[in-house]
Amino acid sequence: MGATLNGCLKLLTLLNEAPERILSLQELCASLARSRETLLEQVKLLNTYDYILEDLGKDQLYLNRSLDFYDEDYIFRASKGKGRVSVLESIGSTNTEMLTRHASLASGDVILAEIQYGSRSRRNTKWHCPIGSQLTMSLCTLYEPTLDIAGLSVAVGVRLAAVLTELGVEEVKVKWPNDLYVQGRKICGILVETISNLHSLYIVTGLGLNVHKEGFEELETPHISLDEAQVKLSRNEVAVAVISALRELFEQFQRSGFVPYQADFDQWDYLKDRQIAVKTESSLFQGRACGIDEKGALLLQTAKGLEHLTSGHIL
């Protein structure tokens, strides 16, 4: 799918910039130097991924919503900290791409995707990323292989909760370890993965943050976007805020570890004092959520005592 989706961005850009977002097939074929058959195949493929193009009859094609594309140069220039910025047209997963080519990456490097069709979560499940509506990106950080990174995943959630609040979002919460919720609905998923060699530990932090509301209508999981939280920003503006904050976070974590974030977690704690069930690889725990410990582990008061859970799925 990826190879075929590559090349669709120019089609979408032409329609996005056209009056009323309508162009004839003849105009599109001429501008793209593609045959009618090839163009229609791409339209069909795009609509399989995200129903976004409509046939108005009389050989006219309509883009049914305005798209907010990334500006690679603006993001690079406006983001704080060191690192390269690369916007890819179509990819399965930005995290997978970074892990695959980790040896060529430097700290602070960022990959963003206009079309991401293989997004993954901690449980390796996939979710839908509407074109032009979600911030889909990964950032790479290099540490010494001996650095203790306990709590890093939680720290990412804490820092991004602060970013959303700084952008004007109200009622932001972190659902351990790092999913972000607003008004009780999910706004951002985060996946932190690592790969190492004798010389370096590579941290790849991927996220999907809902910026615009369009395209999420079919999801079963309760969700919300920045638009719906009354924060009207472009994906470029949000990308700059997130990238700048993450680069700063990883520098601070290297110096101070998780300690500065442990106390901050309490104000964002989505699960605090709730009766919950947590499924780990080997057991099922039930009890009252009591915050986190100095390593970022979830504290769960059960009938048998206080459990420190370093991983698990909240049921």
Q: Do 176 and 284 belong to one domain?
A: no
CATH code of 304's domain: 2.30.30.100
Indicate whether 5 pLDDT > 90: no
Last-in-domain residue among 20, 43, 63: 63
Residue 181: CATH number of its domain: 3.30.930.10
* pLDDT exceeds 60 at position 2: no
Question: Domain range holding 17?
Answer: 2-63
State residue 131's pLDDT score. 92
- Beta strands, E only, the chain: 22-24, 53-57, 60-63, 85-91, 110-116, 134-143, 172-175, 179-182, 185-196, 201-210, 275-279, 284-292, 298-302, 305-309, 313-314
Residues 24 and 114 in one domain: no
Of the candidates 14, 98, 109, which has an alpha carbon nearest to the alpha carbon of residue 53? 14
H/E segment holding residue 164: helix 152-166
Which of residues 237 and 124 earns the better pLDDT score?
Answer: 237
- Joined together, the tokens standing for residue 82 give 């060191």
| pLDDT on residue 112 | 97
Residues 86 and 186 placed together within one structural domain of the fold: yes
Query: Of 63, 94, 116, which marks where a domain is finished?
Result: 63
Tokens encoding 125: 């499940």
Does 55 share its domain with 147? no
Mean pLDDT across 75-83: 98
**40 and 121 share one domain:** no
Q: How confident is the model at residue 222 (pLDDT cuts 50, 70, 90)?
A: confident
Separation between Cα atoms, residue 284 and residue 27, nearest integer Å: 59
113-125: average pLDDT:
68
Could you tell me which of 267, 80, 266, 259 has the C-alpha nearest to residue 152? 259
Both 211 and 111 in a single domain?
yes
Instruction: With a cut of 80, say whether residue 10 has pLDDT above it.
Output: yes
Q: Are residue 153 and residue 31 in the same domain, yes or no?
A: no
With 0.85 as the threshold, say if the pTM is over it.
Answer: yes
255 plus 201 within the same structural domain = yes
Q: Which of 63, 85, 101 is the last residue of a domain?
A: 63
CATH classification at residue 16: 1.10.10
- Please report, to the nearest 10 degrees, the dihedral formed by the alpha carbons of residues 251, 97, 111, 169 taken in order: -80
| Tally of domains in the chain | 3
Query: Are 153 and 283 part of one and the same domain?
Result: no
pLDDT tier for residue 6 given thresholds of 50, 70 and 90: confident
| Shared-domain flag, residues 95 and 129 | yes
Same domain, yes or no: 86 and 45: no
Is-cis flag, bond preceding 177, omega within 30? yes
Q: Are residues 257 and 276 in the same domain?
A: no
